[in-house]
Structure 1
């Protein structure tokens, strides 16, 4: 990429705190920006297109939808008229869904997931008057420059994944842990690389198994892979697989019912409930897609649509981190997480985000 534009408003920090219970909190009226925003938003329409994982994937898409619901509530918008989602059951649905929302005169349309990048770029070029937002990738033109009518939203997933890796490395009793990814891609490699680096930082001798499902919506396949990794001795599995990860929880709960002590580390949102009633969720790497959706929607309704810019949410912006539910995490591990968090934020520690960077990182330990 030849040019990269960045911005971050201080409101993101506040949003990360205020919206920790996004989708369930009935307050947070402060984020609506007062009466001025309510007047502007009375005829504002915002929507999102899910990827194939679906809006109820318990993870990425669901977090985005919770953010959109919260924004709609804060601004007095009516569901299906002022805000809504459109579900994609196949990749071929992306362009028709995006185009349909443009025809319905939605002021801002989110494409949820990097798998939608090419379709967002195509639609944005065909409809320069549309205001679009792409989560998890950067929409560019033929010159590899950010498209002016697309707000690109990215995260430092490797930073949050490093922290849950620290927890896994410290709390594994078998000294073997696993990682299950959805689609093998540059994005999911950030999760994998950061996680492995966190594990190795506190437990250099730990064995790490990795496997990809090549699908974000295949719970049965997720369960099969989880069974394989648990059978190999892993007692903790971190998934970055969307709906496929639901199968990891199923396998862990089945084993827990039979007296086996295994854990799952969730992703994107606090997945503590997904591990109940067997209580198999060790922790989760929270990625504040909900915060990002609210923040970009707020900027747009205020007349400051961040088209052509790349917003990146990391630890410093409270865009990634560990879940608030911490009942299964040891005090020692939590203390170590805070220690590493400070090192990352200060720049003392640079977390790897690719295979090559991880190999170099591991070699330096």
Structure 2
């Protein structure tokens, strides 16, 4: 495999808190399937036909509902639980540029208002959950995409970590990219260069190389921490993808949150393919770009959120670290639009090999 790696030059000095991305279920550790109660102005409270006295607090990352990706998947799981169980919910989202103190305040106010469980959407809440959860030992907390620890480095008893095998789903869309590429040249756009997003890159490259060992993969991260604008800047995503298409790539996969809409625009302009992430983005994209969305790597945050709430409603809250992988249906690839129908048999064969352990997908890029 040949690979070129670049980093966008525009970096910001501000510290933003954003999470991507963006499942199946399991009850065991390991593989599985304006309101005074919140410091954020973007807060809402909703109550269905109450059949449960459980009050669920949801703390979104930047973008909240409507991001058509990671946060929306979490919201979908919350909505399903609310509809089925009649729970009361309180939702709040992070603001641009806020620090950990603001997240601590958000979680604390939800706890003080009697919400239990409280779900933090994204790794940006790691420090806040680690600080707040031990102070409210009777409240069940969950966090997506991270495993917080106490001051001694030990797991926190009342925190459930909902994590995913993003590399496995990314392997499948990498294979799809290589199978569909006519140029033998594809690309990857990562929102922010973090270990989490590197899992997407590693799986994508491994899947592409499994199909074509000589394939060229361009890699570009939009920003480096502590600048997290790479998850929320479509213009940066579009510019990065345009450069890849201009250089000869004919498929580009993004793991860049809200910046991914710019990748779709670039694909449409180039008459090439793009690959979405977290949700089945074909279903929510503008009709003008749908013909260019080859597939999406689905990360079922909705199922993880629903499963966790259900476990609380049932009186046996999930605990520890729960991993949502291919075997559990926690990650996978989307088929909307029909563009991968002709290669589905090959992709499903790779999927089974991963589940069987014949293929072990890396979680970090080769270099």
Q: Paired residues, what number?
A: 315
Return the match for 1:144 from 135, 138, 153.
153
Output one character per residue of 1:134-177: Cα deviation in whole Å (capped at 9) or x when no partner: 00111111232211111111000000000000000110122211
Corresponding residue of 1:24: none
After superposition, the C-alpha distances for 1:304-356 in whole angstroms (9 at most, x for unaligned) are: 1224x10000001000001141501151x21111111111111111001112x
Q: Does the residue aligned with 1:303 lie in a helix, a strand or coil?
A: coil
Matched, 1:86 2:97: no
**What SS class does the counterpart of residue 85 from structure 1 fall into?**
strand
Task: Please give the root-mean-square deviation of Cα atoms over the aligned residues, in Å.
Answer: 2.1
CA distance in 1, matches of 2:312, 2:175: 38
Q: Is residue 328 from structure 1 mapped to residue 334 from structure 2 by the alignment?
A: no
Greater fraction of residues in helix: 1
Partner Cα separation in structure 2 for residue 99 and residue 224 of structure 1: 40
Question: Normalised by the size of structure 2, how large is the TM-score?
Answer: 0.81
Out of 259, 264, 267, the position equivalent to 2:274 is 264
**What SS is found at the alignment partner of 1:349?**
coil
Of the candidates 210, 221, 228, which is equivalent to residue 212 of structure 1? 221
Q: TM-score if structure 1 supplies the norm length?
A: 0.82
Query: Which residue pairs with 2:8 in the alignment?
Result: none
Cα offset, 1:228, TM superposition: 1.6
Superposition map of 1:239-254 within 5 A? 239-253=254-268
**2:279–2:296 CA contact under 8 A, matched in 1:** yes
Q: Is the 8 A contact 2:282 2:337 kept in 1?
A: no
Give the structure with the higher percent strand: 2
CA deviation profile, 1:63-87 (whole Å, cap 9, x unmatched) = 000110111011123xxxx113211
Counterpart among 137, 142, 146 of residue 133 in structure 1: 142
Which among 31, 36, 56 is matched to residue 66 of structure 2? 56
Question: Conserved in 1, the CA contact under 8 Å of 2:27 and 2:318?
Answer: no
Q: Which 5+ residue runs of structure 2 have no aligned equivalent?
A: 1-24, 34-48, 224-229
User: Unpaired segments of 5 or more residues in structure 1?
Assistant: 1-6, 17-37, 360-365
Partner Cα distance (1:277, 1:45) in 2? 40
Do the aligned partners of 2:275 and 2:295 also contact (CA within 8 Å) in 1? yes
Contact 1:69 1:83 in 2 (8 A): no
2:355 to 318, 333, 345: 345
Aligned to 1:65: 75
Cross-structure match for 1:233: 248
Instruction: Select 1:286's aligned residue among 278, 289, 298.
Output: 298
CA distance, structure 2, for counterparts of residue 47 and residue 250 of structure 1: 35
Deviations 1:199-244 (A, max 9, x none): 0110111110111123211122111212222222111111111111
Query: 3-state SS of the aligned residue for 1:177?
Result: strand
1:342 to 1:182, Cα distance in 2 relative to 1, 3 A: same
